[in-house]
Every structure is written in structure tokens, then in C-alpha cells.
Amino acid sequence: MATKANGRWLVLAIPYLWLLALFLVPFLIVFKISLSQDAIAQPPYVPTFDLAQGWALFRENLSELSFENYGYVLSWDNEFIEAYGSSLWIAGISTILLLLVGYPIAYAMARAPKSIRPTLLMLVILPFWTSFLIRVYAWIGILSPEGLLNQLLIALHIISPDAPLQILATDTAVYIGIVYSYLPFMILPLYAALEKMDETLLEAAADLGCPPFAAFWKITWPLSLPGVFAGCLLCFIPAVGEFVIPDLLGGSDTLMIGKVLWTEFSVNRSWTVSSAVAVLLLMVLVIPIVFYQNLQAREVEGR
Amino acid sequence: MRKGLSWFNVTSIALGFTFLYIPIILLVIYSFNASRLVTVWAGFSTHWYWQLFQNQQLLDAAWVTLRVAFLTATVATVLGTLAAITLTRYGRFLGRTLFSGMVYAPLVMPEVITGLSLLLLFVAIGLDRGFWTITLAHITFTMCFVSVVVQSRLVTFDRSLEEAALDLGCTPFRTFFVITLPIILPAVVSGWMLAFTLSLDDLVIASFTTGPGATTLPMRIYSQVRLGVTPEINAACTILIAIVTVVVIFASIMTKRQEAERQKAERLAAAG
């Protein structure tokens, strides 16, 4: 009996400890470093805590922690607040676009004959398996001034060769990139919700004289809401911190917090300020993340 | 309610799939372009593929990436499956909310945060950065995806099979390997593949947690892409796309066949 219980606890303890050590503890370290100061040292911040230093020095180090970096990040003189705002804005608009593009596709997939549904589903998932970086990269060749889209439009005499569309290096390109890369994440939860729907409900509505659009609005839409929420959160939260898409497709004036954090870390080499940026980003996202966790737990664990 | 698809449904599917596939198809076509200018078609050529196989840096990066991905997928599948079992079979336990939070949060966590926090951990404990730190980081975020995939299979299958085995005196350990694992195997395999591709694909977390000597393929591609579009990168991307497509189609045929066999066996069992 004892070994049985031990085995049971081992199954729990291994993934639990792994996530504690490599997911939770790192956040605590980020928080601690966000309260430290930059230094020319290895690692490049003070104070560092070393338990071997003894208690007195430890307490002295503790008093050196300050919220200075937060003051720096939250000051209007620097562009951080703007970057948070514009990230939320870009992610929000992209999520709405994703819903508008994804919903009709998911709806049509759920209506399709049962025999071709698995194939359609695989066709949606397949681009997701191909590298994210490659898919973003593919758009550079399409959207650049001498790119394929402009060539097509010039060939069709829609625009003149002298004035190609400037899409690459603008926010529009970022929207296109996000919608393109995250589309499977929007379609899959929507499809899952719509496919489960009982079609006899719509038949009943039609029999009772309800026009199709009203039936959609009163029956299909409310029933698909769990999918809508899951899809939107699954796209919105990572999009806020997106780095690759604004970096490759956006212009120098595209301000997104993921890119700012990256620059602060790798170019300005300020680990303490980038930690403060990360902590604040997490605080902005904590409400949608908790909401998503609850949704996911209910969905997956069947509670 | 009419059955089947309206013109609106057909158009949405057609337009949606065109949107999803056109960029990839164009990329593949232009990898066979003879011209160095990516956007001007100058005839068919496999020149860039030969060029690619002489690019030692790129080949080295590909080798590092494959090793990281293989190791990541294998460890993440074990950890993710264990996590899935605890979340679906253990009921309530102390710290469950924290645990399920830690399993679901990485699914949506912006990569820059995960990458930065893991780097700072590795620095704090004085771990040399390189191959192993990338692998540890990848295991951590991919195991959560594995866990979700396996959980969705664990909640749908008939638990009385497990209970019957336990009642007949089978140990929990054996029950898992004889009853549970064969049933959830398709999900475990998809979990492994998902972890493998996520690791293969990751740029941001790898860039944060890497050290000298360990450059992955996405990092190499990214540094070249920043300098502009080259046909050589198109060729590299085409090869990656081809590999992934073959693996995914093969896997889906396998799962379909397995599912059909399982249903046949169930029907036989029910009839007998």
C-alpha cells in the first residue's frame, strides 16, 4: 500500500516540481531583478544574493532593492507606456479581424459534410505545423514595394508602376502578419464549439418561422460563445507580447512592447529595466490569462 | 434548415484556404527561381538547393535544432502525460489550482516573458548557457501543450476499463501500461509531434536562453532574413515545409487507420 501511495505522489511530484522550478521560480527572479540596479558586472545587476555572504550582508542587499526601474518605465518621458498602449491596441484590432475572418471559415467547416470535415481540419492545422518564422517571412516577399502584390496590381493596371503600395514596414503589414499567423488558433476553438451544436435547434427555429439571420443571432452565436472567448484569448494574449511579426513586417515606428523588451535586453543590455517591463506586461495580461485558464480547465478537464 | 453548404460557406472556405496557403505556395515556387532577385522570375533552377547544402553554418544549426527538438519532445511527452494524469485522475489535491495554472499559463504566455525569465533563472543558478539550457526551456513550455492534448483524450475514454483492471488485482502501474497507455497512445504521439515542431520552430525563447556555440536553425534564418529575402532561405524553408507536410500526413493516416481498427475491435467485442 505504501509503494502504491508513493507511486501516486511521484506522478504528481515530477511535473509539479519541474514547473515550480522552471516556471514559477523564474518569475520570482524576474521580479527581484526588476527591483535591482544595472551594474557593469557578471551578472549585470546589483545586488546579487548569495546565501554564503551571511545574514547581515543579505539584509543590507535587501535594502538596496527599489522601485526605481518602475518609475523609469512608467515615466511619460520614455516610450514604454505608449508601447503598452499600442500593443494592446494592435492586438485588440487583430483579434477582432481574426474573429471576422475566422468565424465564417469555422462556421462553414462545421456545416460541411461529415466525410470531408477531417480533411478541412487538417488543412487548417497544416500551416500551423510549418514554421511560424517561415510564414511571416513569406509575407515580406509579397508585401514589399517591388513584391508580388504590387507586381500583380501593376499588371492589372489597378495602380501605376510609379506609385507602388507601401504596405511592408507599416502597421497594416503587422495586422496582416498577426491575422495570418494566428488564424488556426482562432478557427480551431470556434470550429470545436460550432461542431458540437445541435442542428435540430435551427430546424426548430426555421419551422417556427424564424428567418435564418435571426436564428443565427439568437441560437448559433450564443452557443458558440465559449469558442469565441477561447479563440480571442488564445490570439489576443500572445499577440500583445508579439516580437517577430512587428520586427520583420512592421516599420521603425511600429511600437510593440515585445520588441521594446527585446531591444532593452539585447541592445541596451539593461536586464533590470527589461525585467520591470516584463513584470508590468504580466500585470496587464494577468486578468485575461486567469480568465483563459479557467475556460481551459473547464473545457479540458470536463468539469 | 437546409443541409449542406450555401454559396457563402463555400466562398468563406475557398477564400480562407487561399489566404492560408498562397504565401506558402509562392515561397516554394520562388525557391526554384534562377534569379537572385526573389521577386523576378528568371526560369527554373535548383541552384539554391545546392548552395544550401554547401552552407555549413546552416547545416550545423539544423543539426543542433533537430537534437534539441528530439530531446525536448521526448522528455516533454513524459512530463506532459504525467501532468495530464494528475489533472484528470487525481480529483482535488492541495495546490491543484496552482498546478493547473502553471500548466495552462505557458500556452498563452508571451514568449519574450518566458524567455527572459528562464534566462535569468539560468544566470542566477550559474548554469552555462547553450544546448542544454535551450532544451530545458523548450521542455518547460512544450510539456504544457502535450498535457492539454493528452488530457482531452483522458477525459473522453471509458474509465470502467481502468477500474476493471484494478478490481481484478492489476497494479496501478501495470494498469497504466496495459490499459491506459494503448488507448491514449494516438494523443501521446500527437503530443510528441506537437512538442517536436514547437521546439523546431521556436526563435524567441531559444534566442534568450542560448549561449555561445548553440545556434538553432530559426535563429540562423532570422539573422539572414533581417538582411533581406534570399532564394537560399526560400530553399531552406521549402525543405522544412516538405518534411513537416510528409510527417503530418503520414501521422494522420496512421491515426485514422488505428482509429478504424479500434472501432472494429470494439464492434467485435460488443458482438461477442
What pLDDT does A19 receive? 94
In a domain, B51, yes or no: no
Contact B28/A at CB under 8 A: no
In a domain, B33, yes or no: no
Catalogue all structural domains in chain A, each as residue range(s) with its CATH number.
78-301 (1.10.3720.10)
Which amino acid would we find at residue B139?
Answer: I
Name the more confident of A15 and B251: A15
Lowest mean pLDDT among B37-41, B167-171, B194-198: B37-41
Name the more confident of A197 and A27: A27
**pLDDT score of B137 more than 90:** yes
CATH number (domain holding residue B193): 1.10.3720.10
β-bridge mates for residue A234, sequence order:
none
Buried b (16+ CB within 10 A) or exposed e, A104-119: bbbbbbbbbeeeeeee
Contact between A96 and A239 (Cβ < 8 Å): no
Residues of B in contact with A124 (CB under 8 A): 20
In a domain, B47, yes or no: no
Helices then strands, counting H and E runs in chain A, come out as 15, 2
Give every CB contact of residue B227 below 8 A, 6+ residues apart in sequence. none
When pLDDT is cut at 50, 70 and 90, the band that residue A1 belongs to is very low
- Within 13 Å, how many C-alpha atoms sit on residue B55's CB side? 19
pTM of the model: 0.87
Specify the number of domains making up chain B: 1
Contact B76/A at CB under 8 A: no
**pLDDT score of A137 more than 70:** yes
pLDDT > 90: percent of chain A: 32
For residues B120-144, give the mean pLDDT.
93
Rounded Cα distance between A183 and B24, Å, is 14
Interval A38-82: pLDDT, tens: 877 777 777 766 556 666 666 777 777 788 888 888 887 778 899
Interval A152-186: pLDDT, tens: 888 888 888 888 888 888 899 999 999 999 999 99
When pLDDT is cut at 50, 70 and 90, the band that residue A94 belongs to is very high
- Taking an 8 Å cut-off on Cβ atoms, the answer to whether A202 and B172 are in contact is no
Owning domain of residue B211:
56-271
Lowest mean pLDDT among A169-173, A296-300, B47-51: A296-300
When pLDDT is cut at 50, 70 and 90, the band that residue B3 belongs to is low
Give the minimum alpha-carbon distance from B262 to chain A in angstroms, rounded to a whole number: 18
**Distances B85 to A22, A145, A236, B153, B186 between C-alpha atoms, Å:** 20, 52, 29, 11, 15
In a domain, B19, yes or no: no
In a domain, B93, yes or no: yes
In a domain, B137, yes or no: yes
DSSP character at residue A217 = I
Grid cell digits, residue A101: 475572418
For residues A227-238, give the mean pLDDT.
92
In a domain, B14, yes or no: no
| Nearest Cβ partner for A127 among B20, B39, B83 | B20
